[in-house]
Amino acid sequence: MSVEDFIIYVYCCVDDIYRTIVKQPLRRRGFMPKLSDAEVITMEIVGEFMGKDHDKRIWRYFRNHWHDWFPHLGSRANFAKQSANLWDLKRRIQDHIAWQIGALEDSIHLVDGFPMPVCKYARASGSRCFKGEAGFGYCAAKDEKYYGFEGHVLVSFEGIICGYAFAAANVDERDVLPEMVAGLHGLLIGDKGYIRPSLKQELVQQGIDLQTPLRKNMQDLRSKAFVGQLTSSRRLVETVIGQLTERFHIEKVRARDTWHLANRFIRKLLAHTMGCFLGKLMGNPTLLFESLVEV
């Protein structure tokens, strides 16, 4: 579809969901912003999808190219402030889309994490960014240590994001998992980092069968075909993380506090989920974003 159609589709989806989930006014005092919340979120989703990964670039893109469509677009500072204040609404919209697509009802889900470094490792000891909030961690995929946060995503078997979190890099991913899978059932596929007998037993009580590849020093009684299927299935969540990294730049921390970091993190997930949703409406493969918008 054209960029014009993409903006219209995104706005209509956001506005419909907004009217569904917002039952009471979000603001109880002060002046109402001239730019509606649905317009701001639409601009964020479209901007992220077009590769504009921070507030200034999104604001400048719409001011220069689409100001006639968003005539109440004011200063960049006001846009950024309104955007950050809507982080929880964006979370609820993303959850609603995942539910509407049926991702939460899938019998198979996959989970994985990715690094979100705050600065170069050599500068970490002297960095004041997120002091007391970020931590030191290790990325096995890149075989390197880093200072910052770790993002976690849970996806359905179609690649729809239906659970997420980010925490300091030194927080064990196994401690983050139970909160992410609340309300889900069925098979959950993870990597070796999620191996913990007590966690597996806890998830069994919730109706979740956690399966991971085993370490070399562990005896595996499962069939080789089943283990091979686990390994090949994990490519799906790796593809989603690859899209979040390459198209939406989710690994880059361009915020000075966790409030703005959470906003950036959630809107990138929302943009990805909206792309999957519109792709399904058009009959395209869920994760085939390249053919969704004609730039």
Please report where in the chains the tokens 């499962």 appear, as a residue. Answer: 222
Q: Which residues of the chain have pLDDT under 70?
A: 26-31, 295
* Average pLDDT over all residues of the chain: 86
- Percent of all residues in the chain with a pLDDT value above 70, rounded to a whole number: 97
- Kindly list the distances between the CA atom of residue 245 and the CA atoms of 165, 240, 242, 265, 282, in Å, as whole numbers in the listed order: 15, 9, 5, 11, 24
Structural contact between residues 226 and 127, judged by C-beta atoms closer than 8 angstroms: no
Give pLDDT, residue 93.
93
CATH topology for 105-255?
Answer: Nucleotidyltransferase; domain 5 (3.30.420)
Q: Where are the beta strands (DSSP E) in the chain?
A: 108-119, 135-139, 144-156, 161-168, 186-189, 208-211
Give pLDDT, residue 28.
66
List the domain boundaries for the chain: 105-255
Taking only the tens place, the pLDDT of each residue in 204-246 is 888 888 888 888 787 777 778 887 888 888 888 899 999 999 8
Q: Which tokens in the block code for residue 267?
A: 């809107």
